[in-house]
C-alpha cells in the first residue's frame, strides 16, 4: 500500500517527492561521480562502503531493499548474486549466514556475520517475492528469506557449534551471534511483524514476540530526556562502550529514529517510541550539521565531530512520522533543503537519506 506523503505538510506534492526519490536513487546507482554501486561479474555487483572501500552485508541488503522498492529487479538480482556467491557460508559454524565484509572482488575481510544484514536480506527477499514472484535457485526469493530467518533462530540446532542471532529467551537481536548484548539500531519491529506472517509457521509466534520486545527495548535504551540511544547496549538497555570509543551516541545509533518512523508508518503509533522520536528531534533542534558531535546519552558533547552529519538530519526528519515535537515540520523543511552527501563518507549518509526520503514521501512499502 501507499502511505501519506508527509512532505505535503510543507507544500511538496507527491509528484515532486517521487521525482526527488528517483534522482536520489539514480545518484546512488548510476551517477558517474557519486554512485557506490559497482559491477563485479557480468551478473553480479556490490554496494561499496566508500569510507572503508569494502562491501558489507549492511550495504548489500540496503541496496536490495532500495531496488525492490524502486522495481529494479535487474539491480536486485545482481546484488543478491554477489551476496550468495561471495558472502554466503556453505559450511562451518556460520553455515547459512553471510560474511559481513568482503573486498570488492568478494574476498572475505571477516568471516562472522552482522545480524542487521541478515534481517534486511530477509525482508528485501520477501518483498521481492511479493513484487516479482519467486523463481528457481537463488531467485527463489521466499525460500531464501525463510532459510535466512531459520538460521538466525535455530543455528545452534542446525549447525554444530553455531550460535543464533536472536536470544531465544528475551527475543532480542544480538550484536553478533556470540555476544550476549545488542545494538538498538538493529531492532526492526516493523520487519518482525511481517516475519510473523511470512516466516516458517512454527517461528511466527517468536517473531510476534520479537516485535513487541524490540519496541520495549528501544524505549528503555533511550535516555529519558534527550531520547538518544547507544550504539551498543546490554540486554537491559544500558550502554556498552566498544572499540575504545568513550561516547555512546554515534553512527549506528542514528538509525533508531528512522526505524521508529518506519514502524509507526507500517504499524501505527507506539507512544513510548513516539516519545523517543520527539525527544531526539527536540535535542537536535537548533544544531547545524557542522555542530553535530559524538554524545553521551545525556547530551554531553565530545570534541569528536559526527562522522555522518547528513544521516543525523535525515533520520531526525524521518522521526517526524512518529514525533509530537513542535519542530517536526521544521525537520521536514530542513531535510527537503538538504543535498545528498558527496565525497568519501557518502555511502552511509546517502543510504539513510534515501530510506528517510522514501518513508517521508509515503513510498516505503511493506507489500506489493
**Closest residue by Cα to residue 191 from 280, 99, 126, 257:** 126
- Distance CA(305)–CA(291), nearest Å, equals 8
133 within a domain of the structure (yes/no): yes
Overall number of domains in the chain:
1
CA angle 259-260-262, nearest 5°? 65
**Closest residue by Cα to residue 124 from 178, 70, 165:** 70
- Distance CA(313)–CA(316), nearest Å, equals 5
Q: How high is the pLDDT of residue 27?
A: 98
Alpha helical stretches, state H, the chain: 14-30, 57-69, 73-82, 115-132, 141-158, 189-198, 204-221, 255-267, 271-284, 309-318, 328-337, 346-360
Q: How high is the pLDDT of residue 355?
A: 98
How far CA 47 is from CA of 81, 244, 351, in Å, comes to 12, 28, 10
178 within a domain of the structure (yes/no): no
Digitized pLDDT (tens) for each residue of the chain, 368 residues in all: 779 999 999 999 999 999 999 999 999 999 999 999 999 999 999 999 999 999 999 999 999 999 999 999 999 999 999 999 999 999 999 999 999 999 999 999 999 999 999 999 999 999 999 999 999 999 999 999 999 999 999 999 999 999 999 999 999 999 999 999 999 999 999 999 999 999 999 999 999 999 999 999 999 999 999 999 999 999 999 999 988 889 999 999 999 999 999 999 999 999 999 999 999 999 999 999 999 999 999 999 999 999 999 999 999 999 999 999 999 999 999 999 999 999 999 999 999 999 999 999 999 999 99
Q: What counts of helices (H) and strands (E) characterise the chain?
A: 12, 6
CA angle 247-56-22, nearest 5°? 100
Are the C-beta atoms of 149 and 192 separated by less than 8 Å? no
Are the C-beta atoms of 49 and 56 separated by less than 8 Å? yes
Please list the helix, strand and coil fractions of the chain in percent, rounded to the nearest 5, in that order: 55, 10, 40
Domain that holds residue 114: 37-165
Q: How high is the pLDDT of residue 242?
A: 85
Which residue out of 49, 58, 77, 366 is catalytically annotated?
58
Residue with cell 554444530: 160
Active site includes 54?
A: no
75 within a domain of the structure (yes/no): yes
86 within a domain of the structure (yes/no): yes
Which residue out of 54, 116, 119, 252 is catalytically annotated?
252
pTM score, two decimals?
A: 0.98
**Element spanning 55, H or E:** strand 55-56
Q: How high is the pLDDT of residue 2?
A: 79
Q: How high is the pLDDT of residue 26?
A: 98
Q: How far apart are the first and last CA of the chain?
A: 7
Are the C-beta atoms of 82 and 55 separated by less than 8 Å? yes
Q: What three-state secondary structure class fits 90?
A: coil
- Distance CA(242)–CA(231), nearest Å, equals 9
Are the C-beta atoms of 357 and 24 separated by less than 8 Å? yes
CATH number, domain with residue 47:
1.50.10.10
Active site includes 178?
A: no
Radius of gyration of the chain (CA): 19
114 within a domain of the structure (yes/no): yes
Sign of CA dihedral 37, 40, 45, 46: negative
What the block records as the C-alpha cell of 4 is: 501519506
Amino acid at each position: 500500500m501507499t502511505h501519506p506523503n508527509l512532505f505535503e505538510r510543507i507544500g511538496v506534492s507527491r509528484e515532486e517527492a517521487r521525482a526527488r526519490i528517483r534522482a536520489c536513487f539514480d545518484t546512488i546507482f548510476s551517477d558517474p561521480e557519486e554512485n557506490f554501486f559497482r559491477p563485479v561479474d557480468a551478473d553480479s555487483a556490490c554496494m561499496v562502503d566508500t569510507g572503508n572501500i569494502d562491501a558489507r552485508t549492511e550495504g548489500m541488503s540496503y541496496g536490495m531493499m532500495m531496488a525492490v522498492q524502486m522495481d529494479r529487479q535487474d539491480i536486485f538480482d545482481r546484488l543478491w548474486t554477489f551476496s550468495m556467491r561471495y558472502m554466503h557460508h556453505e559450511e562451518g559454524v556460520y553455515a547459512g549466514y553471510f560474511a559481513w565484509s568482503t573486498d570488492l572482488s568478494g574476498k572475505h575481510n571477516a568471516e562472522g556475520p552482522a545480524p542487521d544484514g541478515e534481517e534486511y536480506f530477509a525482508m528485501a527477499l520477501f518483498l521481492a517475492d511479493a513484487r516479482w514472484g519467486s523463481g528457481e535457485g537463488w531467485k527463489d526469493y521466499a525460500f531464501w528469506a525463510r532459510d535466512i530467518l531459520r538460521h538466525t533462530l535455530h543455528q545452534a540446532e542446525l549447525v554444530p557449534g553455531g550460535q543464533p542471532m536472536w536470544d531465544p529467551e528475551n527475543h532480542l537481536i544480538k550484536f553478533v551471534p556470540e555476544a550476549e548484548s545488542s545494538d538498538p539500531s538493529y531492532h526492526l519491529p516493523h520487519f518482525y511483524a511481517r516475519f510473523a506472517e511470512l516466516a516458517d509457521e512454527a517461528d511466527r509466534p517468536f517473531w510476534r514476540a520479537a516485535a513487541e520486545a524490540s519496541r520495549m527495548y528501544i524505549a528503555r535504551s533511550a535516555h529519558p530526556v534527550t531520547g538518544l540511544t547507544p550504539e551498543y547496549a546490554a540486554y537491559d538497555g544500558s550502554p556498552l562502550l566498544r572499540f575504545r570509543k568513550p561516547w555512546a551516541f554515534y553512527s549506528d545509533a542514528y538509525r533508531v529514529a528512522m526505524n521508529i518512523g518506519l514502524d509507526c508508518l507500517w504499524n501505527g503509533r507506539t507512544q513510548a517510541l513516539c516519545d523517543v522520536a520527539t525527544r531526539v528531534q527536540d535535542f537536535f533542534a537548533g544544531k547545524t550539521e557542522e555542530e553535530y558531535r559524538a554524545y553521551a546519552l545525556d547530551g554531553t558533547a565530545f570534541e569528536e565531530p559526527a562522522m555522518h552529519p547528513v544521516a543525523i538530519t535525515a533520520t531526525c526528519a524521518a522521526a517526524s512520522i512518529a514525533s509530537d515535537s513542535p519542530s517536526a515540520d521544521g525537520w521536514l523543511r530542513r531535510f527537503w533543503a538538504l543535498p545528498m552527501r558527496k565525497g568519501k563518507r557518502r555511502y552511509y549518509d546517502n543510504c539513510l537519506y534515501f530510506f528517510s526520503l522514501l518513508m517521508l514521501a509515503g513510498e516505503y512499502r511493506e507489500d506489493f
